Structure 1
Amino acid sequence: MKWANQHQGGGILTLEGKQVLVTGADGFIGSHLVEALIHRGCRVRALALYNSFNHWGWLDGLACGERIEVVCGDVRDPHFCREITKDIEVVFHLAALIAIPYSYVAPASYVDTNVTGTLNICQAAMENGCQRVLHTSTSEVYGTARYVPIDEAHPLQPQSPYSASKIGADALAMSFFNSFGLPVTTMRPFNTYGPRQSARAVIPTIISQIAAGKASIRLGDLRPTRDFNYVADTCAGLLALAECDAAVGKTVNIGSNREISIGDLFGLIRELMGREVALECDAQRLRPGQSEVFRLWCDNGLIRKLTGFEPRHTLREGLRRTIDWFTDPANLARYKTEIYNV
């Protein structure tokens, strides 16, 4: 097998100078990861979802120069995946459908992209001899916490079609490590926020509505708690795991080891933005009763043990940076604050 011959010899993988593929590079975390990899000295092949407008998502406008090669396509196509992984040393697989509300509407599309897409990337990486595959999971696979903080041994609970598809994708990725020795690490970030995030997510929802001058902010359930991480910290965790040989074959949480309720988060953002706004419950933002995940609090002990990783931004610091970005009129104009986007 081509991969097995290339991987022999071991040694600590360093990203500098590597040819790296990022799937989902046109998205929120993906575009920040591309920038971080460029700064690390990588040459990046960045996959954007094919569209007839030649739109590269958040990659449009990034000043990355000759070190980035943008390609457009779809991870659902196995032949395409074989082509884009040629000459690639490290794969960061982020391409996924992630909107939980839309997974209730179109669950089959989540299986196609998240499960089959992961199969295609792993198969292609194995055939082309990639040195490392970093597969991105989500804390949603844990469902409502049975105990806190949540470590990697916590049971998996498919409380939405989205989380079910990611559980399947995670299992499939790890099967390639167990069956074929493909050097896979499954990275499991808890809730990431920051500039460029979709207005579907709760922090941009609050900030963008306040910034647009809304007198009443529409939200769903205020009781759930989340472990929020600034996007630069999530990307730092991804890079740290990519360079950690001891993480191969493991699933590793990335989080802050802190939680906050959505209600308290709203109060904090309102305080930081200096606005007195009312709160309104929007029924269409509520999940079905058995599907709501009420508590996510990360135990980040494993990533600290493996890599020494610690988040650098407090929630207040990260929110200030995020507010500054969203309140720039040029950035706010990209968002339709009057529409709830599933």
Structure 2
Amino acid sequence: MDLKGKKVLVTGAEGFIGSHLTERLINLGAEVTALVQYNSFNNWGWIDTFDKNIKNSINVVSGDIREYDGMKKIIRGQEVVFHLAALIAIPYSYLSPMAYVRTNVEGTTNVLEACREYNIQKVIHTSTSETYGTALYVPIDEKHPMQGQSPYSASKIGADKIAESFYKSFNMPVVTLRPFNTYGPRQSARAVIPTIISQILSGKKEIKLGSLTPTRDFNYVKDTAEAFVKVAESDNTIGEVINAGSNYEITIGDTVKKIINIIGKDVKILCDDQRIRPENSEVNRLWADNTKIKQLTNWLPQYSIDRGLEETVNWIKNNLQYFKTDMYNV
């Protein structure tokens, strides 16, 4: 599928990954409608920071995936839908699990049902590596069991199964993309890498973190956005669940050391109890097997962890005003 000239909807377009994907689609020549969550301030999230020419090329609409009638109106006339809208913060899911069910499970059902009604040519549903839970074996391929180790991951498992059911029950052209730990410009301080960087750049001599021993498979956001594009373009991906990961494993502790080395400041690391997940909820190891996406789409990550971290540090350095480093962001 050639996305140039296609009428494309991106849900969650105002967010971290969604905003990068939206920019990429505009550069490819797609006719992009960006769904942002309705708010009385008419705030478009990161889209508000776009270059004027790019922003003027986007049809921005406000709505809520939890409201089916509204989704029908927005999806009508589209050809391809990238569904990224979700509640994603794991700590907040402990406080309000039902909100995650309503947004991630019911909201995804609304999107898929509207896509089915209007015969959308392809739907790319966004999953997460958190659905795997702590690795039972590594590297983690798409056959790895799913484990609901947090209300967030459980809600995403539910959403993934809804997407699977629409493919199997209604022969809908759905593909599920499962990104591993994405990082980069525009990510909020709820995630570990911007938390580390923003605390150090704000001048703190001591930085507060949760556990340092878990491993992650970090992916630079431009690589993740490109994975969405490649999965959409490929004719071999419908009905598939596909990992998007670097096949590179690193501990949180070693990630901290890399960031400290890039910034060049001495800091002390403190363990903050409120940043530690409940014992049985911590995902101790994530390491992606990316064989499938390479075979189906020829996608390969272009950014090493060192290059990606350098670009992220530089962006946060120039945008530190977006980070509230004196408080814990859930």
TM-score by length of 2: 0.99
Contact in 1 for aligned 2:65/2:103 (Cα 8 Å): yes
Contact in 1 for aligned 2:247/2:287 (Cα 8 Å): yes
Per the alignment, residue 133 of structure 1 pairs with 123
Q: Distance in 2 between matches of 1:54 and 1:66?
A: 16
Contact in 2 for aligned 1:89/1:131 (Cα 8 Å): yes
Q: 2:47 aligns with which of 54, 59, 72?
A: 59
Q: Distance in 2 between matches of 1:61 and 1:157?
A: 37
Instruction: Check if 1:219 corresponds to 2:209.
Output: yes
Instruction: Check if 1:301 corresponds to 2:301.
Output: no
Secondary structure (helix, strand or coil) at the match of 1:333 reads helix
**Matching of residues 99-178 of structure 1 within 5 Å:** 99-178=89-168
- 1:22-61: CA deviations, max 9, x gaps? 0000100000000000011101100111111111111102
Task: Name which of structure 1's ranges 18-27 and 61-70 shifts more when overlaid on structure 2.
Answer: 61-70
- CA distance 1:103–1:65, change in 2 (3 Å): closer
Per the alignment, residue 4 of structure 1 pairs with none
Q: 2:328 aligns with which of 323, 337, 340?
A: 340
Per the alignment, residue 2 of structure 2 pairs with 14
Instruction: Check if 1:190 corresponds to 2:157.
Output: no
> What displacement does 1:220 show?
0.2
Contact in 1 for aligned 2:122/2:174 (Cα 8 Å): yes
Q: Which structure 2 segments of 5+ residues have no match?
A: none
Q: Distance in 2 between matches of 1:237 and 1:33?
A: 10
Q: 2:193 aligns with which of 176, 198, 203?
A: 203
Secondary structure (helix, strand or coil) at the match of 2:236 reads helix
Q: Distance in 1 between matches of 2:204 and 2:277?
A: 24
Q: Distance in 2 between matches of 1:232 and 1:65?
A: 18
Q: Distance in 2 between matches of 1:183 and 1:126?
A: 9
Per the alignment, residue 83 of structure 1 pairs with 73
Contact in 2 for aligned 1:138/1:188 (Cα 8 Å): yes
Secondary structure (helix, strand or coil) at the match of 1:126 reads helix
Contact in 2 for aligned 1:48/1:70 (Cα 8 Å): yes
- 1:244-285: CA deviations, max 9, x gaps? 111100000000000100000001100011011010000000
Q: 1:245 aligns with which of 228, 232, 235?
A: 235
Q: 1:232 aligns with which of 222, 241, 254?
A: 222
Contact in 1 for aligned 2:33/2:58 (Cα 8 Å): yes
Per the alignment, residue 322 of structure 1 pairs with 312
- 1:142-195: CA deviations, max 9, x gaps? 000000000000000000000000000000011111000110000000000000
Identical columns (%): 58
> What displacement does 1:216 show?
0.2
Task: Name which of structure 1's ranges 61-70 and 239-248 shifts more when overlaid on structure 2.
Answer: 61-70
- 1:301-341: CA deviations, max 9, x gaps? 0000001111000000000000000001xx10111011101
Instruction: Check if 1:288 corresponds to 2:268.
Output: no
> What displacement does 1:65 show?
4.2
Contact in 2 for aligned 1:304/1:310 (Cα 8 Å): yes
- 1:84-126: CA deviations, max 9, x gaps? 1011000000000000000000000000000001000000001
Contact in 1 for aligned 2:150/2:281 (Cα 8 Å): yes
Contact in 1 for aligned 2:47/2:55 (Cα 8 Å): no
Q: 2:64 aligns with which of 58, 63, 74?
A: 74
Q: Distance in 1 between matches of 2:49 and 2:41?
A: 15
Q: Which structure 1 segments of 5+ residues have no match?
A: 1-12
Secondary structure (helix, strand or coil) at the match of 1:313 reads coil
Runs of 4+ in 1 over 3 A off after TM superposition: none
Contact in 2 for aligned 1:230/1:315 (Cα 8 Å): yes
Q: Distance in 2 between matches of 1:304 and 1:223?
A: 29
Instruction: Check if 1:39 corresponds to 2:3.
Output: no
What letter corresponds to residue 283 of structure 1 in structure 2? D
Q: Distance in 2 between matches of 1:245 and 1:160?
A: 34
TM-score by length of 1: 0.95
Q: Distance in 2 between matches of 1:21 and 1:173?
A: 17
Matched residue count: 328
Per the alignment, residue 271 of structure 1 pairs with 261
